Amino acid sequence: MSDANKAPIGIFDSGIGGLTVVKAVMEQLPNENIIYYGDTARVPYGIKSIETVREYALQITEFLLSQQVKCILIACNTVSAAANEEVRAFCGNVPVLDVVAAGAEAALSVEAKNESIGVIGTLATVNSQTYETAIHATAPGKRIFSKACPMLVPLAEEGWTDNEISRLVIEEYLGDFREKNLDALILGCTHYPLFTPLIERYLKKSGTKVIDSALSIAARTRAMLAEHNMINESGEKGEFTCFVSDKPQRFQNLAERFLGKKLHRIEISPLV
Ligand code: DGL
């Protein structure tokens, strides 16, 4: 194994939600060092213009490359939708994976009973039709039903992921999806995996498989690193470094909830 294998994996998101991807990567690749960047000063991206999201995404990419990462995971659906090509071009030979491609692939691997897939995400992600493009590239006959669920982001930030209010919001957003007997529902926003138990319960009778793209991108990362002989096989537990552009007071608590574990150090590194 070369020293390059010990280089960290760079993961970024508009804010805290990408920690759901970090958690999945930690579980599937426990020896990898990880550097995370959350743009907490400028979140949310989901309601911003494509041009603005692109500019922010390239600034973060530049920062991660300066940390000598061996690959980059775009852990934000909105960035994947708005700036995928730009980030890849900027990275040159450094491999880039994104949550949209991973989520689309996972949804297509579900047994197709009704040839239909649901997608929920931010306004920017849903309006971009990025999941439609990714899915139709391999399965043009699939029917896709998408819906923006903007209320879920603040609910997740508040920690209201499985209470009476979140239940009512899920019912309001997914009411018509329940009748469609979708084969799969892609959680196309980094915050939504926190609602997985609630959504699974709500869609239970319709037999819809709920797709968490955090799990899929982690599996893809493992496969990509193995293919390029880039896995860190040092046997040491991977280190996690968390950078943010601003540290709101409740960030630590929230981050620990997303990650499901204690965070000892969070560094503030503004981009502008
Ligand atoms: N991280 C964003 C996403 O996955 C959700 C939060 C935001 O709007 O910035 O689309």
Q: What is the CATH number of the domain that holds 30?
A: 3.40.50.1860
pLDDT tens profile 190-218: 999 999 999 999 999 999 999 999 999 99
d(CA 212, CA 190): 9
Ligand 1, atom 2, lies closest to the CA of 76
pLDDT tens profile 231-253: 999 889 999 999 999 987 788 88
pLDDT tens profile 56-109: 999 999 999 999 999 999 999 999 999 999 999 999 999 999 999 999 999 999
Looking at the fold, whether 123 and 83 belong to one and the same domain comes out as no
Mean pLDDT of all residues belonging to the chain: 94
Please state the rounded mean pLDDT for residues 117-144: 96
Domain of 109, in residue numbers: 101-213
Is 91 among the catalytic positions?
Answer: no
Q: In what order do the strands lie in the sheet with 71-74?
A: 96-98, 71-74, 9-13, 34-38, 240-244, 266-268
Looking at the fold, whether 94 and 219 belong to one and the same domain comes out as yes
- pLDDT above 80 (res 17): yes
Looking at the fold, whether 88 and 222 belong to one and the same domain comes out as yes
Residue 1: its pLDDT value, please?
Answer: 63
Looking at the fold, whether 202 and 111 belong to one and the same domain comes out as yes
Q: What share of the chain has pLDDT > 70, as a percent?
A: 100
Domain boundary among 168, 188, 213: 213
pLDDT tens profile 215-236: 999 999 999 999 999 999 988 9
For the chain, the farthest-separated pair of C-alpha atoms sits apart, in whole angstroms, at: 53
Q: Tell whether ligand 1 has an atom less than 6 A from the beta carbon of residue 189.
A: yes
Looking at the fold, whether 209 and 258 belong to one and the same domain comes out as no
**Predicted model pTM:** 0.94
Side-chain-facing half-sphere of 204: CA atoms under 13 Å:
4
For residue 3, the 8-state DSSP code is G
Is 76 among the catalytic positions?
Answer: yes
Looking at the fold, whether 88 and 130 belong to one and the same domain comes out as no
Count how many domains the chain has: 2
Please state the rounded mean pLDDT for residues 163-191: 96
Residue 265: its pLDDT value, please?
Answer: 83
Looking at the fold, whether 144 and 246 belong to one and the same domain comes out as no
Q: Which of 71, 91, 149, 189 is catalytic?
A: 189
Domain boundary among 175, 190, 213: 213
Q: Tell whether ligand 1 has an atom less than 6 A from the beta carbon of residue 193.
A: no
d(CA 211, CA 230): 27
- pLDDT above 90 (res 262): no
d(CA 79, CA 82): 5
Q: Are 119 and 145 in contact (CB under 8 A)?
A: yes
Residue 15 CA, ligand 1 centroid: distance in Å: 7
Residue 260: its pLDDT value, please?
Answer: 86
| Rg, Å, the chain Cα set | 18
* Cα–Cα–Cα angle for 7, 8, 13, rounded to 5 degrees: 150
Q: Are strands 9-13 and 71-74 parallel, antiparallel or unpaired?
A: parallel
Query: In this structure, what token pair is assigned to residue 197?
Result: 């138990």
Question: Which of these, 225, 212, 194, lies nearest to 72 by C-alpha position?
Answer: 225
Q: Tell whether ligand 1 has an atom less than 6 A from the beta carbon of residue 77.
A: yes
Side-chain-facing half-sphere of 67: CA atoms under 13 Å:
25
Tokens 């980094």, residue located: 190
